[in-house]
A and B are shown apart, each in its own frame.
Chain A
Amino acid sequence: MAPTRGSSKGASSGGASKGPSKGPKGSKPSGMSSSSRVSKPSSKKNVKRPPPQEVKSKARTAPENLARKKKRVYTEAELDLPKLNQITPVGVVKPKGKKKGKVFVDDQEGMMTILAMVNAEKEGQIESKMMKARQLEEIREAKKAEAEARMKEKKFKLDAVKDSIRNKKKNKGGNDRAAESSPASSKSGSKSAKGKRKSVSFA
């Protein structure tokens, strides 16, 4: 293609005879030639054009052609794939465009902010621990007090029962004494009751 085109526009290469095609001087036609030829609109004639340039198609092995053209890259979100069907598992997706490697903290301010955060967290934890311990202690104390009160009550009841039994016995004894003062028949009765008491004797 290129050589043929070049030959058709021979003006540039060998056109010493054909003046008009080249340069501002050549554009001014001599009288003869202009009348004989088919007239063209003057505006077109006067148009200045840049010199035609040869367009060469580049070889396949040229670096421009070797470099692959950028294809449009679809993000996974655009593809609208089901989550389990993606290349990267869920949760392993790394943020794109983020700097690789570690971020170091070496300046005092950075360290101090981290330390302040950690300290606040720790103090909160300790405070909550203390609160919890205090509450538990209170509960324990309350339980202890309750148990003590219950024990006291039990003891009181027991004492009351003991007293009542003692009183009964005393009363019985009192009755007996009262009975002693009553007529002799009753006396003998009481004596007989006493006489019934078992006794052990060794021969």
Chain B
Amino acid sequence: MRELTEEEAKVLFSKLANYTGRSLNNLIAPPEGEQTERHVFRLQGSRVYYLPLRLANYATSIPRANLLSAGTIIGKFTKTMKFRLHITALSVIAPHSRYKVWIKANGEMPFLYGGNVLKAHAARWSEDCPEHSGVVVYSMNDEPLGFGVTARSTAEAKKLEPTGIVVFRQADAGEYLREEDSLFTA
């Protein structure tokens, strides 16, 4: 388990910034009013973890080969040095999300089974959202279900027919079951 290099940090943050706004700063430096302990990003294998510094320091006492996981998995670096966010990062992204889409109850299941979000299923979405930007998908009672990329801008989506795709799925909470075998192991 090691710290990120400058390049890796840049790739990771640019990915996270797709989904979050300026408040992403709070991940690194918590706001002054809050007395929370410092959290850090650590790389183990190709996976990036987000964990309290205290835990990261403990983790140094475990050999690399034996260390399976520590903290929250944010995602992994591909061999071409791109970053892929995992569904586990949802808890980190959701509180700071920039654009949001709420889906109706009848659209929850199709989304959780790995489908894209159709216009008929989208109840409401953030205004002024450009196309191909990251959004967090919420259920109607404000529970984050996953995240994706907008297929159309808000203005265009309004004109779309009900069967048209509004959000391309990137990750959904259903992956905890579908990808159970490979989600936490390298």
Contacts and interface: CB of A to CB of B under 8 A. Distances in A.
The reply to whether chain A is a binding partner of chain B is yes
B181 interface: no
Contacts of A104: 2-5
A114 B38 CA distance: 18
Contact of A129 (B2, B24, B38, B133): B133
Given A102-B5, A106-B3, A118 B14 contact: yes
A75 B25 CA distance: 46
Given A111-B28, A114-B10, A122-B18, A105 B130 contact: no
Contacts of B132: 129
A165 B28 CA distance: 79
Contacts, number: 58
Contacts of B22: 119
Contact of B131 (A102, A106, A111, A133): A133
Contacts of A115: 13, 17, 24-25, 28
A179 interface: no
B50 to A, nearest CB: 12
Given A102-B5, A126-B133, 16 more contacts: A103-B5, A104-B3, A104-B4, A104-B5, A108-B28, A108-B38, A112-B28, A114-B6, A114-B9, A115-B17, A115-B25, A115-B28, A118-B14, A119-B24, A121-B14, A130-B130
Closest 5 CB pairs of A and B: A129-B130, A104-B3, A106-B3, A118-B13, A122-B17
20 contacts: A102-B5, A104-B5, A105-B9, A106-B3, A108-B29, A110-B6, A111-B9, A114-B9, A114-B13, A115-B17, A115-B24, A115-B25, A117-B10, A119-B17, A122-B14, A122-B17, A126-B130, A129-B130, A130-B128, A133-B155
